[in-house]
């Protein structure tokens, strides 16, 4: 028996995955039909697409012939993560390179993951707009060799379609990947933590479903 183990008295796991409910959405459809295998055990036929629930977008999402879900090393989807928090959207409706310099400029970022969180109560209630990452932010991430960025449904990749396309182009051209539809980001209590979102290993798809988790150190008493 091996001796490797994690002291769970010091660490906790946070499930950051969005729960998919069959039939709950027409746009992000997820339909299942139960059937039987030859041995009479149950199985399901599934009709959906690659951007339902928590999913990782890769180069094939944006570039013809870009790398698919099976083409990246596993370490691209896990590692040290830094929390980029926006507590007041009125001060940062658009996350620019200047905002990133202020919030993350002193960190050693190559190979890190940035998880973006909107913690503005007014924005979460719809009384202010959602914060959005700018194409300049994508260039900042690329220049600092960030390997993955993550958002939930309360954060936007660009203010409009044009900006969103520019952001994807800049960051993915630099080899970055994007995880979307995260959930429970409010449960993260530490500015640094271990993050993992391992995509379903399949060829020829642009994006893949993932189970995302954070492992963070418990506050010391």
Query: Which residues does 36 contact at the CB level (< 8 Å), separation at least 6?
Result: 42, 43
Task: Tell whether 26 is covered by a domain.
Answer: no
Q: How many CA atoms lie within 13 A of 62 on its CB side?
A: 19
Per-residue pLDDT at 1? 52
∠ CA(138), CA(124), CA(144), 5° rounding? 15
User: Is the residue at 4 inside a domain?
Assistant: no
Rounded to the nearest 10 degrees, what angle do helices 161-173 and 135-143 cross at?
A: 10
DSSP state of 15: E
Has residue 35 been placed in a domain? no
Express each pLDDT in 178-187 by its tens digit.
Answer: 999 999 999 9
96 found inside a domain: yes
As a whole number, mean pLDDT of residues 189-198 equals: 96
pLDDT at 85 exceeding the cut of 60: yes
Domain that holds residue 119: 11-19+50-217
Question: Does 105 have pLDDT greater than 90?
Answer: no
Q: Decide if 43 is inside a domain.
A: no
Task: Give the C-alpha separation, 219 to 221, whole Å.
Answer: 6
- Structure confidence at residue 2 (pLDDT): 64
Give domain status of residue 25, yes or no.
no
Closest to 214 in 3D by CA, of 52, 70, 54:
54
State the CATH number of the domain containing residue 88. Answer: 3.50.30.50
Q: Is residue 33 part of a domain?
A: no
In a domain? residue 88: yes
pLDDT at 51 (0 to 100): 96
Domain count for the chain, please give it: 1
pLDDT band at 220 (very low <50, low <70, confident <90, very high): confident
């Amino acid at each position: 028996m091996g001796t490797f183990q994690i002291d769970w008295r010091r660490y906790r796991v946070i499930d950051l995955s969005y729960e998919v409910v069959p039939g709950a959405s027409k746009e992000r459809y997820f339909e299942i039909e139960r059937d039987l295998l030859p041995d009479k055990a149950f199985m399901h036929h599934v009709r959906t697409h690659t951007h339902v629930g928590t999913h990782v977008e890769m180069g094939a999402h944006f570039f013809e012939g870009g790398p698919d879900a099976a083409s990246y090393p596993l370490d691209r989807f896990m590692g040290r993560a830094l929390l980029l928090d926006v507590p007041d959207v009125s001060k940062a409706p658009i996350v620019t390179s200047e905002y990133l310099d202020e919030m993350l400029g002193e960190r050693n970022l190559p190979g890190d993951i940035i998880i973006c969180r909107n913690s503005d109560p007014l924005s979460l209630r719809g009384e202010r707009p959602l914060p959005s990452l700018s194409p300049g932010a994508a260039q900042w991430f690329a220049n600092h060799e960030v390997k993955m960025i993550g958002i939930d449904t309360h954060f936007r990749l660009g203010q409009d379609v044009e900006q969103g396309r520019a952001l994807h182009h800049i960051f993915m051209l630099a080899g970055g990947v994007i995880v979307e539809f995260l959930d429970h980001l409010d449960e993260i209590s530490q500015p640094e933590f271990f993050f993992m979102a391992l995509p379903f290993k399949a060829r020829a798809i642009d994006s893949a479903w993932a189970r995302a988790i954070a492992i963070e150190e418990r506050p010391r008493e």
